[in-house]
Structure 1
Amino acid sequence: MNSRPANPYGRSYPDSEGLLEQACAHLDRAARQIRATAGDDPFAPARSLGAQLSLLCGGLYPGIHAVPDPDDSLGPLEHLDTALALLDAIPLQQAPPDLMVWTLRLAQLRSAVDSTARPTGTSGTDTNRSGLP
């Protein structure tokens, strides 16, 4: 029995589906890591960003969730960069029809995560980001 959710786009391209699933797994991991930084504050910007990433993941391929990995050495930005690279690797002929829209939104959210993670007044070259791991 296959535990993989059905392809929401009604066509099957094994290579692109694998890339899409991997990208969604990275998005899910990033969303969980970002939401974890919000603690108990329901109005924390990190909670909103994490929720938006979860929604984006569900829009790309509903039902994909990453298995929690205690040995995960990547931070949220690395997961988002990996997801963007995987989405960019999907051949356009095999991509879901709205992939470019989702990828653009992910790039915008990645920028927002980077801005939120960087303390005010830093140049962006600082690797010690406050707020997010």
Structure 2
Amino acid sequence: MSGQRVTISIDVPKPWLLKTNGGQGNVYANAQRARHLRHAGYVAGRDWLARHRAWRRDLRVDVAYEVHYPRRPSRADPDNLAPTVKHLVDGLTDAGLWADDDYTHLRRRTYTMGEPTRHPGVWRIDIHITPITKEKP
């Protein structure tokens, strides 16, 4: 299991979203959102690990974040959800998916657009994790 690409999907309701382009409300509300997101990441990570016991948390990985909006926007920038994704990844770290979410464990991170969820008010973040089997020179 440790050499294959895996995907963990997490649904994020609109009230939990954190964005880089402003309009986020007050600090207390943002802290609440961060706690919800981190917990959602933790639960998703523990659930995934319970079903895939052969996972090695010492692997170095590349991670691709596929962002699914509720519907296809005319213009979208998946990178704007980086604060949302950061707290989800912190939860995956808490769950024990990897030892830490620093560059020595998560080598490369990319953001892409996915198909719409078609559920009003629900974004989905697919976290595609690819173990690095051999470093390039």
Q: TM-score by structure 1 length?
A: 0.31
More helix by share: 1
Q: Which of structures 1 and 2 has the larger relative contact order (alpha carbons within 8 angstroms, sep 6+)?
A: 2
More strand by share: 2
Q: TM-score by structure 2 length?
A: 0.30
